[in-house]
């Protein structure tokens, strides 16, 4: 993790953003104390295929109506 003060962060923001894009975390300090953190943005995730998910759920075995309660009462969860 790179640590910089606010003045350096302002002067080199483009470089710091490029480092964050490559996966590095940058801590920004004021008077020697951390006040902010520049981190990589989360990558967009693939959309959920709901048809596949419904099919998968349909393949799962059915549980009894009181199955969870029975397991809880038997201390088997």
pLDDT in tens, 27-59: 999 999 999 999 999 877 889 999 999 999 999
Q: Name, in order, each residue with C-beta under 8 angstroms of 21's C-beta and a sequence gap of 6 or more.
A: 40
Locus of tokens 């520049």 = 38
Evaluated on CA atoms 22, 27, 5, 13, the torsion sign reads positive
Handedness of CA 45, 52, 50, 60 (dihedral sign): negative
- Which is nearest to 16 in space by CA: 38, 34, 36? 38
Could you name the CATH architecture of 2-38? 3-Layer(aba) Sandwich (3.40)
Q: For the whole model, what pTM was predicted?
A: 0.54
Query: Domain map of the chain by residue range?
Result: 2-38
- Alpha-carbon gap, residue 60 to 56, rounded angstroms: 7
Average pLDDT, the chain: 90
The pLDDT of residue 77 is above 60: no
């Amino acid at each position: 993790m790179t640590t910089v003060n606010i003045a350096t962060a302002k002067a080199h923001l483009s470089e710091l953003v490029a480092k964050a894009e490559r996966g590095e975390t940058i801590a920004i300090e004021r008077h020697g104390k951390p006040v902010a953190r520049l981190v990589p943005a989360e990558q967009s995730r693939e959309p959920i295929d709901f048809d596949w998910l419904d099919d998968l759920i349909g393949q799962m075995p059915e549980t009894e109506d009181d199955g969870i309660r029975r397991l809880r009462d038997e201390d088997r969860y």
